[in-house]
Chain A
């Protein structure tokens, strides 16, 4: 690239931006000058149109297209439910679905429980900020990064060689034989789940800790005056007080878990019976060149996420009514 090219490109970008600004300005000007009667409607349309158009291109069209693909084979012929039959009959694919269910049960429950317990215990303690930061930090690490870190932790080398994985080194120190953790089924799925829990606990802890601080002190003091012990206070005051936050945390983590891809991809690539729906969706669509099966898996994922989203929205809406 020469300087002249560069200048040319910068000028092109500048002109592009100017034209864009001019067009938008013109549209807004015209919307403002619309006849009084239709003014509301025109303005509504002008302001909503960009969002709706983008939604249509970026969300609605792909959703329809994926649904059609899910019922077609590679050549694009409609084949009914064959792809779904494949998902629920092939042993490998069934395994994928079961694994996803294990994930979505374990991760939200454990990370919310651990996060909640941690938030309660460190509440108002000395050094609360430091404790919070410690648990929250994994949130800042990408799933891929976390996967690579934990893969090192589980790493395996033959018994006659030096171990580079922490877990196996501990096993060796204790006098055992190194274990091929990520190859040992079904332990491997749970070892991957731990990574997700490690990341999500911080998220649960921060939200729940904030919610706990939002509980009016009067209620806590009143309970204390009534002679409750701390467990009773926790179940009767704290839990009801943070119910909406709990729902948000559990549903958010559930959705994130259903979509988990990066951790499985980086740590085992779905080998050794650890695959989950999102990973299999990618593998089928882009590596195995079976877009129909990939799309069918995407649709299954969508159907699984849908009730959680609906529940989330309903709870939030009922909260709003109370307020």
Chain B
């Protein structure tokens, strides 16, 4: 009798768990009746084929990503399984070597992308993808998906790094002009400093193990502007040493601002203050300028309007001469394929298309360098401005150099060097130290 009762309980428990688990799975049949499938017709249908895709994008961003291709999935009858993990960069190599990679990987670092490509794990990008990239992306962008002359993957989203945040109302009140050259920027900072009620620049760099990275963005911006894109490329590829005079010059130019008490107040304080809080004193009028990427828009908090006539806005760090072409550093993703399945190829081509870019940008929060993108879809004035900068054919775009350098430098010694440099070490010896850490093989 007892045994029977036990059995009943077990079965009941199993049934409950089973029912509970079915709550986790989505069984809803794809309903295509409300969807305009015309943009997706050219991709064909794949009879429920499964495509797995993985990347570092998580949480709300991941939800939007999945939503951006939901219509495609329904119309082409493809089942797309996205897995987002922040450990993607650490794991993808093992997955690839173990023969168990996802069909598609979204790589935030071209350096890692190139590593995986060099390992022979990617399949060459299908023609449709290359056609889309040729149509919608600049040569600069295509180069980041190309390894040793072979094109492997298309870019996805983008961000712009070299923004200087400011308060439009303060600028209007005091009659400050948005600077058009680096010298004008320094003059502006001097003016603000001489007026004496607050320091011109806010700066903070604390970010746990990556403390110091905001300064690497500064250095990259100055190398790109002072020495030009060719030099920048040689720098991250290590065709010139890290302690080359041009790089040291960039350190010194940045040092004139960040290591100058008249510009930032207490120089080393930034190492203790989280980077996310860095620009907030602008809102209280405690400083006027803050250098941080476009994503900083999300850090200002509720109730702060980010607009040319709002509480804060940003201008691009200006070039050396007013008529120099626009040069920006930024980040982005490259999509590489581990499978040559035709459903995977079609989806990869879709991700490189203007349709996808528009879908995703419309959902808000991000931008893309896709030239087929309608800038008016952007969710904020800043993103709209960023899209226009990226789509401008005269803009020189360069990926964040620390993402392009080997991890030993770009993810470690560059940051550590910056911490020492802000702490008081001179530019030359810090550059020498970073150069010494460059992997030999």
Contact = CB atoms under 8 A, between A and B. Distances in A.
Interface of A: 1-3, 5-6, 10, 74-75, 155-158, 160-161, 180, 182-183, 265-266, 269-272, 283, 286-290
Contacts of B211: 269, 271
A287 B411 contact: yes
A183 B441 contact: no
B54 to A, nearest CB: 15
Given A6-B22, A180-B269, 17 more contacts: A1-B24, A1-B25, A2-B26, A6-B21, A75-B441, A156-B273, A158-B265, A160-B286, A271-B211, A271-B416, A271-B419, A287-B411, A288-B407, A288-B408, A288-B412, A288-B437, A289-B408
A2 B266 contact: no
B84 to A, nearest CB: 15
A74 B406 CA distance: 13
Contact of B25 (A2, A74, A160, A270): A2
Contact of A3 (B22, B90, B441): B22
Contacts of A287: 209, 407-408, 411-412
A160 to B, nearest CB: 7
Interface residues of B, number: 35
Give the most central of A155, A160, A283: most B CB within 10 Å. Answer: A160
Contacts, number: 76
A180 B271 CA distance: 9
A265 B25 CA distance: 38
Contacts of B210: 269
Interface in B377-426: 406-408, 411-413, 416, 419, 423
Contacts of B208: 265-266, 269
Nearest to B284: A161
B265 to A, nearest CB: 6
Interface in B14-34: 18, 21-22, 24-27
B390 to A, nearest CB: 31
A73 to B, nearest CB: 8
Nearest to A271: B419
Contacts of A266: 208
**Interface secondary structure of A, over-half rule:** loop
B412 A283 contact: yes
B429 interface: no
Contacts of A10: 18, 21
Contact of B407 (A158, A182, A289): A289
A239 to B, nearest CB: 43
B74 to A, nearest CB: 15
B209 A290 contact: no
Closest 9 CB pairs of A and B: A269-B209, A156-B272, A289-B408, A287-B412, A288-B408, A288-B412, A1-B25, A180-B272, A271-B419
A10 B412 CA distance: 43
Contacts of B271: 180, 183, 271-272
A160 B208 CA distance: 24
27 contacts: A1-B24, A1-B26, A2-B25, A2-B27, A3-B27, A6-B22, A10-B21, A74-B439, A74-B440, A180-B269, A180-B272, A183-B268, A265-B208, A265-B209, A269-B209, A269-B210, A269-B211, A270-B209, A271-B416, A272-B271, A283-B209, A286-B90, A287-B209, A287-B412, A288-B408, A289-B406, A289-B439
A140 to B, nearest CB: 24
Interface in B248-279: 265-266, 268-269, 271-273
B281 interface: yes
A195 to B, nearest CB: 16
Contact of B272 (A75, A155, A286): A155
Interface in B73-118: 81, 90
Contacts of A1: 24-26, 81
Nearest to A165: B272
Nearest to A270: B209
Interface string B359-391: 000000000000000000000000000000000
Contacts of B21: 6, 10
Contacts of A158: 265-266, 269, 273
A1 B28 CA distance: 11
Give the most central of A5, A155, A158, A161: most B CB within 10 Å. Answer: A158
Given A180-B272, A271-B419, A74 B441 contact: yes
Contacts of A283: 209, 412
A75 B407 CA distance: 16
B273 A157 contact: yes
A2 B50 CA distance: 12
